[in-house]
């Protein structure tokens, strides 16, 4: 979809993360891990996606500074989304926006059960990934209000938003990594 820029920037990010992991073990503390990833993406990913993910991860790290229980991870996701909304091209509400934020927002809503005692992380995260993937697919039929897709007639937009698909794919990779 689009001109390929989104795919190139995400591939660049994936290669940078792989190189980073080969060079040193990742930080064990969740807040430090997210902050380090934010710095890496801001430096290596490029494009607006790199900036937005950098903002997201920097903000998501804050709730994890003092605790890293399951509710803190739900709080981290909400904090990251708030940062993207505050600094990105989208209004604060309502959703959808035809962007990676659609997938992340859908996942964040599905992560709210993490705030319930006894929540099953993999089950909740699985539901969050499914929500993100459904939100990404739903962008196929939307009219863009921001970004490059907003310059193209909605009649010519035949694919889901690439940023939304990429965000859902990142969440799927996290889930698969945790299941491994």
| Domains by residue range for the chain, with CATH | 5-179 (1.25.40.340)
Interatomic CA distance for residues 166 and 145, integer angstroms: 19
pLDDT tens over the chain, length 180 residues: 555 788 889 999 999 999 999 999 999 999 999 999 999 999 999 888 899 999 999 999 999 999 999 999 999 999 999 998 888 766 555 555 667 888 999 999 999 999 999 999 999 999 999 999 999 998 887 766 555 555 555 555 678 888 899 999 999 999 999 898
Q: Which of 12, 95, 74 is nearest to 49 (CA)?
A: 12
Interatomic CA distance for residues 110 and 130, integer angstroms: 9
Interatomic CA distance for residues 49 and 46, integer angstroms: 7
What's CA 92's distance to the chain center, in Å?
16
Q: What pLDDT does 172 receive? A: 95
The C-alpha R_g of the chain, in whole angstroms, comes to 16
Q: Which of 135, 103, 110, 136 is nearest to 124 (CA)?
A: 110
The pTM assigned to this predicted structure is: 0.87
Q: What pLDDT does 116 receive? A: 95
Q: What pLDDT does 144 receive? A: 60
Residue 153: how many CB atoms within 10 A of its CB? 7
């Amino acid at each position: 979809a689009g001109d390929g820029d989104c795919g190139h920037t995400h591939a660049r990010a994936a290669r940078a993360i792989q190189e980073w992991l080969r060079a040193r073990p990742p930080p064990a503390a969740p807040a430090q891990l997210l902050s380090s990833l934010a710095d890496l993406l801001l430096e290596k990913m490029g494009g607006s996606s790199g900036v937005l993910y950098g903002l997201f991860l920097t903000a998501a790290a804050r709730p994890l500074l003092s605790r890293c229980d399951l509710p803190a991870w739900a709080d981290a996701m909400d904090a990251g989304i708030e940062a993207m909304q505050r600094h990105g091209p989208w209004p604060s509400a309502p959703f959808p926006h035809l962007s990676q934020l659609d997938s992340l927002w859908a996942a964040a809503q599905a992560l709210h059960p993490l705030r319930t005692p006894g929540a099953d992380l993999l089950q909740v995260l699985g539901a969050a990934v499914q929500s993100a993937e459904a939100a990404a697919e739903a962008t196929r039929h939307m009219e863009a209000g921001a970004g490059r897709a907003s310059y193209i007639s909605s009649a010519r937009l035949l694919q889901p938003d690439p940023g939304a698909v990429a965000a859902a794919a990142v969440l799927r990779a996290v889930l698969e990594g945790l299941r491994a």
